[in-house]
Amino acid sequence: MVQQLLSEQLVIILNGLSGAATLFLLGTGLSLIYGMLNFMNLAHAAFLPLGAYLAASLIQRTVGAVGGSLGFIGLFVVFLVLLLVVVPAIVSLVGLAMERTAFKPLYGLEDDYQLLATFGIILMMEDAMKFIWGGQPVSATAPSNLLGSFTLPSGTYPWWAVLTILVTASVAGTLYYFFEKTRLGKITLAMAEDEEAVSFTGIDTRSIHLKVFVIGISLAALGGALYLPTASMTTGLALEFVILAFAVLVIGGLGSLKGAIAASLIIGMVQAYGSYYVPVLELALVFLLMAVIMLIKPTGLFGEIEA
């Protein structure tokens, strides 16, 4: 009985953590790009489905081509390389091309106009994905099936979700290390404070802009790649992910890494407990929470920029 209860709680917490992982990968990039570049990119969240669709294509091709010939370890390594390296790399290139063409003309505009123009961009990206991958839901569960699941008193749980949590935790750790300990990270933080002053010291702020942008986008793509093996992807999800990304941004505080971590954990847990105990209100709770936090602490939990 107690064991059953504990195991149920464990499943809820694991669900919360894996949900938080996706949200963190999605929201951090948006938050960093807003914090560092002062660019309100509504289209950011569309890079998550892009990563997921790409992952689906790559997994299906791989399984079709070499699935049988590789052993368990070989196939697992191939999947990891595809999802953790190849997908973020390709999406980064797409992001880079879009930065040069679509996002660059928007940098000087007011937040309002950035929101609207990037709303246009997300509509375009959605249809582009629909054009390439079709309107049907796409899924590729091979990596998750390969890893299998472990048994708990209340049922089984997929190892893939655990892997997602571990990978995301190490990404969060790396980002933290980057911003707190490395020179480039500190320059980036300084740029968020006063970009002009940094550029006076002879540092090429433009190239740092690009790096932050690409890091953000590849994180969203990684989020999509890790998310795919456990769920299916449909067009239209981009528009749903957008508002979750903004929930992370607002709850955590604009441009704060710590905030993004805290916010995604909070939202992940609210969703996990919500969907277990009050399934009807699961998502509603998230936006209620977002509204309440904006009212109590307008700058978000870790935000310092005055509203």
Partner 1 sequence: MSQDTKTGVMIGIKQQFGNLSSAAGALLLVGAFVFPYLPGTGQYQVFLLGQILAFAIAALAYNVLLGYTGLLSFGHAAFFGGSAYAVGLVMQYYGVSELLLLIPLGVLVAGTIAAVIGFISVRHTEVYYALLMLALAHLIYILTVKLYTVTGGTDGVAIMTPTVGGVNYLTAWGYEGYLMGILYYVILIGFVVTMVLLWTFMHSPFGLTLKTIRDDPDRARAIGIPVRRYRWYASIMSGLFTGLGGAMYAFLNGHVTPGTVLHWSRSGELAFMTVLGGTGWFFGPITGAGAFILIRSQAQQLTEYWHFVMGFVLFLVIVFEPEGISGIGARIRRRIRRWRGGGGER
**Residues engaged in binding partner 1 (CB under 8 A):** 40, 102, 105-106, 109, 111-113, 115-117, 119-128, 130-131, 239, 243, 246-247, 249-250, 280-281, 283-284, 287-288, 290-291, 294-295, 298, 307
CB of 254 to partner 1, least distance (A): 8
CB of 150 to partner 1, least distance (A): 32
Closer to partner 1 by CB, 167 or 293: give it: 293
Closer to partner 1 by CB, 125 or 260: give it: 125
Reported residue count of the chain is: 307
Closer to partner 1 by CB, 123 or 210: give it: 123
CB of 127 to partner 1, least distance (A): 4
CB of 24 to partner 1, least distance (A): 19
Burial state string for 68-105 with b = 16 or more CB within 10 A and e = fewer than 16: eeeeeeebeebbeebbeebbbebbbebbeebbeebbee
CB of 149 to partner 1, least distance (A): 29
Closer to partner 1 by CB, 152 or 294: give it: 294
CB of 247 to partner 1, least distance (A): 7
Q: 3-state SS string over 129-153?
A: HHHHHCCCCECCCHHHHHHCEEEEC
Are the CB atoms for 160 and 144 separated by under 8 Å? yes
Closer to partner 1 by CB, 106 or 190: give it: 106
- How distant, in Å, are the alpha carbons of 86, 127, 206, 246, 303 from that of 123? 25, 6, 27, 17, 29
Closer to partner 1 by CB, 231 or 294: give it: 294
Which region, left, alpha or beta, applies to residue 148 given φ > 0 means left and ψ of -120 to 50 means alpha? Answer: left
Residue type, 106: L
- How distant, in Å, are the alpha carbons of 7, 158, 281 from that of 277? 15, 21, 9
Closer to partner 1 by CB, 18 or 118: give it: 118
Instruction: Name the H helices within 182-298.
Output: 183-193, 195-200, 205-227, 237-252, 257-277, 282-296
Determine the straight-line distance between the first and last CA of the chain, rounded to whole angstroms.
50
CB of 119 to partner 1, least distance (A): 5
